Amino acid sequence: MDELAERFEGHRDHLTRVAYRMLGSASEAEDAVQEAWLRLARADADGVANLGGWLTTVVARVCLDALRARRARHEEPLVEPVVVVEDDDGPEEQAALADAVGIALLVVLDTLTPAERLAFVLHDMFAVPFSEIAEILEKTPDAARQLASRARRRVRGAAPAPDPDLARQREVVAAFLRASREGDFEGLVAVLDPDVVFRIRGRVQPDEVRGRDEVARTLLRRGRPFAPLGRPALVNGAAGVVVGPVERPIAVGAFTVVDGRIASIDIVVAPRGQESPVNRP
């Protein structure tokens, strides 16, 4: 059993990345990975030729069941950011602990059906063959390919790839914070993309605003009282903001910076019954 546990630990990081992209919640991802371990412990591991593939399949099925259960219960989509506060010791090193998938992408993934999400995540993010995806979904490989293609089109149109330069992202977010604190409408407009989208998720009723001027007005009207409480953070590996006390923030702001301007702002508020909307490594 000790040897089996050691082999499992060698796959844990990969399994956690798969589960987080499927579920959008670090805590639920950990639960899915733990369930995979329990199933492995009960199985005949000696008969498993490809342990990594077997475990990935198990985690994918656990996540698929969880997504279907959410939909059956009509639950609000769940996004749980992974946050590293900028003034923690060694932020650059700790940033590697934050899952690199952006909040904007997770929000878009939540609009997919469970089958579309599984096909896209496994194939486009982890290069799992459609033949294996088809077995999980109990569909043909062609049907699995169509699901991934449909999901890909929606993702490409709604979740642009962010600038890779983290320092540049931080500069843009810092300018955003200054303008928000000063009530500077023109300053906000200057850092926003013309087609910027502003979304709020969590305890409040989900809301979405589009367009540079309208988003700037909304931020000044609704967000200015909270702006002084904002402080820089790394949110899922990108420049972002935590609002309120570090240990129990009111909300988290995730930004997608494209070509030096903010293309999307996602505010995640803790769901009712939870103390914080974040998971901290």
Q: Which one has a higher pLDDT value, 49 or 32?
A: 32
Mean pLDDT of 36-51: 85
For residue 97, pLDDT over 50 is answered with no
Query: Distance between CA atoms of 71 and 81, rounded to whole angstroms?
Result: 21
Q: Are 240 and 263 in contact (CB under 8 A)?
A: no
Torsion of the alpha carbons at 59, 62, 63 and 68, rounded to the nearest 10: 160
Query: Distance between CA atoms of 6 and 121, rounded to whole angstroms?
Result: 26
For residue 93, pLDDT over 60 is answered with no
| Residue 232: φ, ψ to 5° | -60, 145
Q: Which domains does the chain have, with CATH numbers?
A: 2-80+106-158 (1.20.140.160), 166-269 (3.10.450.50)
Interacting residues of 189 by C-beta distance below 8 A, sequence separation 6+: 212, 213, 216
pLDDT of the residue at 36? 94
Q: pLDDT digits over 176-224, tens only?
A: 999 999 999 999 999 999 999 999 886 556 678 999 999 999 999 988 7
Lowest mean pLDDT among 102-111, 165-174, 188-197, 213-222: 102-111
Task: Tell me the whole-structure pTM to 2 decimals.
Answer: 0.83
Mean pLDDT of 41-52: 82
Q: Which one has a higher pLDDT value, 84 or 197?
A: 197
Q: Please give the share of the chain, as a percent, with pLDDT higher than 70.
A: 88
Mean pLDDT of the chain: 86
